[in-house]
Amino acid sequence: MKKILFTRYLVEQQRDHGHIPSQLRLLLEVVARACKGISQAVNKGALGGVLGTAGSENVQGEVQKKLDIIANEVLIEANEWGGHLAAMASEEMDGIYVVPNRYPQGEYLLLFDPLDGSSNIDVTVSSGTIFSVLTRPEGASGVEEKDFLQPGHQQVAAGYCVYGPQTTLVLTVGDGVAMFTLDREQGSFVLTEENVRIPEDTKEFAINMSNMRHWDQPVKRYIDECLQGKEGPRSKDFNMRWIASMVADVHRILTRGGVFMYPWDKREPEKAGKLRLMYEANPMAWLIEQAGGAATNARQRILDLQPTKLHERVSVVLGSKNEVERITRYHTEA
Ligand code: P6P
């Protein structure tokens, strides 16, 4: 089978669909190259002296891992000089990072969670980089945080790179979802799946069950029905998975279906959820929808939500269409 490498895929997609102008192609190639570098650092683990905490906290008040900071720096350094970007935003940085004056500014805004699930690295479980691309508003002279506050349906590209048994880059530019597996001998991402489709039904749910007593009633109802299995109202048994790494859980769902939930709960009632809208939920929601699935905040389509803050959190229900619709219905009926 002929090997289609990442760049060839982008060039041919542009020829066929026109959604990848050359500046966006440069951006995506640079991000893919950065992900290769992060993959190398993650794979070294203890040998690279990169495990453990950095002794600092991020804007979320979460302890930063050394690799969180390394991954963030790799993405900044890879992208700032190319002339394709106006600014970047990251889970690991309080404010936006405007491309320095010594470099030309482009029309794109890049948002990322540089290393999602980083707590898994110390125990050698999958983690990943999530990225989202927006275009800066027309006519804006400078670039400010408010320029990033666009609903997810305005993304021009979204994807992730999962660092697991394979390093796999997954991308959408609005023409379906493609997957590229890293060929380490060649150092290239090779096209291994395209036109990914998620089954509309599933028997597999992903949620952190230890939070059950804190959930809202509709979530308790849905999970309870799954646990009743064949004897219950669903008339089928369910299986459960929770990797505690959104990238890995979403990758499983894109590969074989399933439903992922990180709902609002009573632990921190003032927060809409744990996950971040701009650089976790929005890119994942677009990928899931592009593969025929659905993604809501338990009431509304995630891609329609109007952000008000760069690091705002959101409740997430995503995956197989019919399950997401059922869970969302239980919430809107309640
Ligand atoms: P919990 C990782 O820290 C993360 O942001 C997501 O990748 C993951 O789905 C979730 O948090 C895990 O949260 O509460 O189960 O540890």
Segments in the chain forming alpha helices (H): 6-17, 22-44, 66-79, 217-228, 246-256, 282-290, 321-333
**pLDDT recorded at residue 140:** 75
In which band, very low, low, confident or very high, does the pLDDT at 290 lie, cut at 50, 70 and 90? very high
Q: How many domains does the chain have?
A: 2
Pocket probe mutation, ligand 1, options 262, 264, 311, max atoms within 8 Å of Cβ: 262
Domain residues for 237?
204-333
285 within domain boundaries: yes
Indicate which CATH number applies to the domain containing 55: 3.30.540.10
Residue with CA nearest ligand 1 atom 16:
244
**pLDDT recorded at residue 46:** 85
3-state secondary structure 165-201: CCEEEEEECCCCEEEEEEECCCCEEEEEEECCCCCCC
Q: Residue length, the chain?
A: 334
Q: Are residues 114 and 23 in the same domain?
A: yes
Radius of gyration of the chain (CA): 19
Q: At what angle do helices 6-17 and 22-44 cross, to 10 degrees?
A: 150
* Mean per-residue pLDDT of the chain: 96
CB-count exposure of residue 133 (10 Å: 0-12, 13-18, 19+): buried
Indicate which CATH number applies to the domain containing 229: 3.40.190.80
Q: Mean per-residue pLDDT for 22-50?
A: 94
Q: Are residues 143 and 264 in the same domain?
A: no
**pLDDT recorded at residue 294:** 98
CB atoms under 10 Å from CB of 63, counted, come to 15
**pLDDT recorded at residue 45:** 87
Residue 229 Cα to ligand 1 midpoint, Å, equals 26
Last residue of a domain, one of 168, 193, 218: 193
Q: Are residues 188 and 216 in the same domain?
A: no
Q: Are residues 34 and 114 in the same domain?
A: yes
Q: Mean per-residue pLDDT for 116-125?
A: 90
Q: Mean per-residue pLDDT for 248-271?
A: 97
Residue 246 Cα to ligand 1 midpoint, Å, equals 6
Express as a percent the part of the chain with pLDDT over 70.
100
Q: Mean per-residue pLDDT for 293-304?
A: 98
Residue 200, pLDDT above cutoff 90: yes
Q: Are residues 188 and 213 in the same domain?
A: no
Single pTM value for the model: 0.97
143: nearest Cα among 98, 94, 102, 104: 98
